[in-house]
Structure 1
Amino acid sequence: MYYTINLKTNKRIESVDITRKINEIISKSKLSSGICMVYSPHTTSGIIINESYDPSVLEDITTFLSDKVPHNIDYKHIEGNSDAHIKSSIVGTSKIIIFENGELLLGTWQGVFFMEFDGPRSRKVFVKLIKE
């Protein structure tokens, strides 16, 4: 069984902290420890783990990706979102995270983020829990 997080993004490039939603899923599952897989089934988005305390870190990440992979250059794919596909490939669409005592085992400042590269859109994130 898997769980679904439904998101509505508001910008073309945006980061959405989904840590709390994942921890809620773990809590409701009544599982104490295991592995949590977080997966985005979209080709123009990604999942990252990074600092959740200082929002400028995520701004730096999106700025870096936008500088290195610009939106409007002469891409072969002509739908206008080629850069989003490339950014998704760079950051990846899934993460595997240990959970213990009913919550994600993250560092003090870490959070799990859905990265939107072709918004605004309605999106899904799938969460699979595997008990220890």
Structure 2
Amino acid sequence: MKTVEIEVRTSDRYEFVSITDRVKEAVRDLGPQNGLCVIASTHTTAGITVNEDFDPDVRRDLRTASEALINSLDVTFRHAEGNSDSHLLTSFFGPSETLTVTDGSLDLGRWQGVYLCEFDGPRNRTVRLSVLEG
């Protein structure tokens, strides 16, 4: 297994940052012909998702829906840091995605991309890519 880290700087409390090109480049640099690539956030308040990466409105819509979901909850969070909403959204989206590598390239659909999902920004984030050749 080969592993590399990608650093991502976010600028808003809730933000969906496309890291598609950086992930593709890292997979090419790691050099697997075929296998699996695990893309993981190393944080409890930031996740990873795969979604459309063509129309920037998708990022805006995901952010708007995430904020609306949190604002619609009738709950009092007790976590002292005041970021329980961030932990909840990270649990919904998940901390990682696993994608296939085919013929040396990340196997994404035509419109798909990889996003870091920021729910407690702005921050510096680390995304860990592990490639298993097989």
- TM-score (norm: length of structure 2): 0.92
- Structure 1 runs (4+) deviating above 2 angstroms are 70-74
- What are the residue-to-residue correspondences of 1:1-132 with 2, within 5 Å? 1-70=2-71, 74-132=76-134
- How far apart, in 1, do the equivalents of 2:9 and 2:65 lie? 24
Contact 2:34 2:104 in 1 (8 A): yes
Q: Secondary structure at the match of 2:12?
A: coil
* Shift in Å, 1:128: 0.2
- How far apart, in 1, do the equivalents of 2:49 and 2:82 lie? 24
Change (3 A) 1:71 1:7: farther
* Shift in Å, 1:26: 1.3
Between 1:24-33 and 1:122-131, the stretch displaced more is: 24-33
User: What's the CA shift string for 1:68-87, capped at 9, x where partnerless?
Assistant: 11399621113121111100
- How far apart, in 1, do the equivalents of 2:90 and 2:114 lie? 15
What fraction of aligned residue pairs are identical, expressed as a percent? 37
Contact 1:9 1:122 in 2 (8 A): yes
User: What's the CA shift string for 1:17-73, capped at 9, x where partnerless?
Assistant: 111111111111221111000000101011000000011112111111111113996
The CA RMSD measured in Å over matched residues stands at 1.6
Contact 2:7 2:124 in 1 (8 A): yes
**Number of aligned residues:** 132
Contact 1:71 1:81 in 2 (8 A): no
